[in-house]
Chain A
């Protein structure tokens, strides 16, 4: 299975918005609405931030939002805060398998 494609890095200043893309194929991202996003701080387990493309789990700030168009999903972080600096991974169901993106390191300048 090929990994989903994410930019290796993204950055923004506090208060700004940043969008991270996640490109797959019609066999994963484009074929199902089971795209999710995870935040991972160094040495920690990943944390679920978005599921089913656009839904936020309880406790995740509404500054985090998700969307999808065709084979590309996106995570937008609005009103950047210092604690948002982390690695972000997308994931998609791919027909009895799951696939992750390569990860994007988000830097808050």
Chain B
């Protein structure tokens, strides 16, 4: 049984560009959350998707947007990349009304 799968694993982008990160949740999970983890810090909540809608959002600008597809997979889009967007982006999946979060290994984004 595959866990949470994220792609790509590493990515290098230029400041000002746009990036799309992808996440496939664990089988049976219907909720996907995205977190940003800067070097040496704890993960920060970006947003959560359930039933293809954004349900909660953390303190991130509108440059960060997402999408959830009917098969529960999700994308995180970041526009107008800044150097400060360099981080590990983690996807977590779970089931609504439960606390069983499963995390993927993340996508390491470097903005140069």
Task: Tell me whether A and B are bound partners.
Answer: no
Q: Which A residues are within 8 Å of any B CB, using their own CB?
A: none
